[in-house]
Structure 1
């Protein structure tokens, strides 16, 4: 096989209320609404299409690792520690549930935030080298 997967185009996130969740993602994270009906909303942000799909109660995109820790399934990237600290402050001001910025022993820093349904997401202070090269983004401090 000579073809290979090139990128992730869409991520599906389970939510309980399409109207409330789509408003939250638009107002808190700056997503752009592309489509909405009673069962789903299609949002564009972070260079990706995000489908918010109405699901049964107590569903989330989180999972439990082998040590019993609840984990996130998505990591968003920002350009540098200053950007990470700024978005962390912004999320707090917008009353988004966030954890503290942490050092996980690899380059950069991270923090976790949650949506209305408890879906857990990570934010990392390091942009992927291929993304930086493609979009000519330079390091921020």
Structure 2
């Protein structure tokens, strides 16, 4: 089954361990052992997470002698940002419309100040005599 790029990115980002690995890589390249340190899981389990991130294009593996550091590839996150940007604009417009509607209601309410409320008020109960 062929997966589109955005689905692959969201799938990779769906796991908190993988998001943690990406966050760690923002501070610089790291080996599998360094990336596995904060987690209560085997290096093999972390390696599986790294393979998912590599398949999504979010990290790459370098090679310096025996050392194979992982490196953050942030460019694919731009695709996620662009997709989300449409929804941000939608919510900004919706919230702007709501703010305008509330402003109009407030102005209409301000014209009614000084008028007494027509809501029924509970009658006070008579005091009991001893």
By the TM > 0.5 criterion, same fold?
Answer: no
Give the TM-score category using the shorter length. under 0.3
As a proportion of its length, which structure holds more helix?
Answer: 2
Larger radius of gyration: 2
TM-score, reference length from structure 2: 0.26
